[in-house]
Amino acid sequence: MLQKLLALAVNAGDNARRGLDLGLAILHNRLQLLSLELKEEQLRFVQALVWSLLGLGLFFMGLVLAVLAVIFLAGEEHRLMALAVCAGVLLLAGLASALIAMARLKRQPAPFAQTIAEFGKDRQWLSDRDSGV
């Protein structure tokens, strides 16, 4: 009888240790996924920032040269009108760019979406397991 109780206690301890080991392995896996997603988000942000700054700088230089060309090509009496038209076109282009940027930001996936989904699957698995016992 004592041996059976001792065997049950050892078996229960082994099961608890294996369960804890499994839980820690799952947590470790999820934290690695979170770390990877964080690095991906940082890389996306830096890439977007670099390309945006480069694009803005080049666009601004080209825009200044284009406006100067239009103003100098316009006759003396039409320079003010040319300047007003250029300003209107630039304002509309700026508004369109802002709207496009906002739409793109709304379409991006939520940060850490995969990690959140995996935690959701883990919770579902645990609740299914608890209800099945």
Domain containing 56 equals: 2-132
Q: Are 30 and 115 in contact (CB under 8 A)?
A: yes
Per-residue confidence (pLDDT) for residue 78, from 0 to 100: 92
Domain count, the chain: 1
0.95 exceeded by pTM: no
Structure tokens at 47: 């890439």
Structure tokens at 63: 């825009």
Mean pLDDT for 88-102 is 90
Cα-flanking dihedrals φ and ψ of residue 108, to 5°? -65, 145
Q: For the chain, how many residues are written?
A: 133
Mean pLDDT for 98-111 is 83
Which residues are within 8 A (CB) of 116 and not within 5 positions of it... i.e. 6 or more apart? 110
Question: Rounded distance, CA 51 to CA 56, Å?
Answer: 8
Phi-psi region of 63 (alpha: psi -120 to 50; beta: other; left: phi over 0): alpha
pLDDT tens digits, one per residue of 36-88: 988 998 998 999 899 989 988 898 899 899 889 988 898 889 999 998 998 89
